[in-house]
């Protein structure tokens, strides 16, 4: 007969909505790495994980949360787009005295919008909840995303519990209470208005492969519902009455997947709302900055923007 389990053993059922940070690994450069931390769980879905990389400092440091792209259909917190070397992105942030948190979130075929935004909000709440453990300043949090992640970063910067749709966009996953405001947003070639993109032609898939339409996959619902769903998922919808944090928008002028006009429209709306916004075109570059002669200034310029607004 198998031995019975000790009565005091925690069986972990039902699962907790999040786990406390794991002990860090400290590398020779003094950076503390908290890898594979479960910041949110939902029954029936994979746990959402984050990695936190915190530079050695005597006082709490500001932090930026990196949100990966991939058309809301794929992507991984550990890898930026193939045009951006990991060492360049991570190293530039850490050398500026800013902690880096990279997050996974539910993909659109796991759950449609607003599940992705709920996960981003949960990550912000988690970072604030465990700020002392990480060694970061909970009042100096920025978000930085590319493509689908840029769209989510913009939404994180613009939506508030007291705004349009209010609590419905905050979600209740992970740490369920806490402030989700951020102090700065970097949005690389993200979508700002989805309705016009429902009919936007997409690059052809390689022969023999099938790839869902990323916009309709994100929205879910029936074709009759998609116009209203697209409006609900668009950052421009949440401009009225908002007090936006500083935004940096960087976008290739030859982007064939997300037109450059998407960032132009967001920049105009942010300006009209009295926000501070910088729109930087990358001339003749396609999506993920393909065709840009050197991505290093793009990365270092984005880090400099964050350092300035997060007080690094």
pLDDT at 59: 96
* Region of 275 on the Ramachandran plot (φ > 0 left; ψ -120 to 50 alpha; else beta): beta
pLDDT at 286: 97
194 token code pair:
């989805």
- Token pair 């998609």 in the structure block, residue: 226
Q: Strand order in 277-282's β-sheet? A: 25-26, 32-40, 48-54, 99-103, 61-67, 136-146, 184-188, 247-252, 277-282
pLDDT at 1: 46
pLDDT at 202: 80
pLDDT at 8: 52
pLDDT at 79: 96
Active site residues: 147, 255, 287
- What is the rounded distance in angstroms from the CA atom of residue 139 to the CA atom of residue 118? 20
Q: Are 37 and 133 in contact (CB under 8 A)?
A: no
- What is the rounded distance in angstroms from the CA atom of residue 268 to the CA atom of residue 192? 11
Q: In the chain, which stretches have pLDDT less than 70?
A: 1-12
- What is the rounded distance in angstroms from the CA atom of residue 264 to the CA atom of residue 1? 70
pLDDT at 307: 98
pTM, two decimals, is 0.94
Q: Is the peptide bond before 32 cis (omega within 30 degrees of 0)?
A: no
Closest CA to 188 of 290, 56, 116, 105: 290
């Amino acid at each position: 007969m198998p031995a019975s389990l000790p009565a005091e053993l925690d069986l972990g059922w039902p699962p907790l909505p999040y786990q406390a940070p794991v002990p860090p690994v400290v590398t020779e450069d003094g950076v503390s790495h908290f890898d594979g931390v479960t910041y949110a769980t939902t029954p029936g879905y994979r746990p959402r994980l984050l990695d936190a990389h915190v530079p050695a400092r005597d006082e709490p440091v500001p932090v930026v949360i990196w949100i990966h792209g991939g058309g809301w259909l794929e992507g991984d917190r550990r890898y930026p787009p193939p045009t951006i070397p990991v060492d360049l992105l991570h190293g530039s942030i850490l050398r500026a005295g800013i902690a880096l948190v990279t997050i996974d979130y539910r993909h659109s075929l796991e759950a449609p919008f607003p599940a992705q935004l709920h996960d981003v909000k949960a990550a912000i709440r988690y970072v604030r909840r465990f700020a002392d453990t990480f060694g970061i300043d909970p009042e100096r949090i920025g978000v930085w995303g590319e493509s689908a992640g840029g769209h989510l970063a913009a939404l994180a910067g613009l939506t508030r519990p007291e705004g349009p749709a209010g609590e419905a966009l905050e979600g209740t996953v992970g740490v369920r209470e806490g402030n989700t405001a951020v102090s700065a947003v970097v949005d690389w070639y993200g979508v700002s208005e989805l309705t016009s993109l429902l009919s936007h032609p997409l690059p052809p898939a390689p022969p023999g492969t099938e790839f869902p339409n990323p916009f309709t996959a994100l929205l879910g619902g029936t074709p009759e519902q998609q116009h209203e769903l697209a409006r609900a998922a668009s950052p421009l919808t949440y401009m009225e009455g908002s007090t936006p944090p500083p935004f940096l928008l960087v976008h290739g002028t030859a982007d064939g997947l997300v037109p450059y006009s998407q960032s132009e429209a967001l920049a105009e709306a942010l300006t009209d709302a009295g926000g501070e916004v910088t729109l930087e075109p990358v001339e003749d570059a396609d999506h993920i900055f393909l065709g840009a002669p050197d991505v290093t200034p793009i990365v270092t310029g984005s880090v400099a923007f964050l350092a300035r607004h997060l007080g690094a």
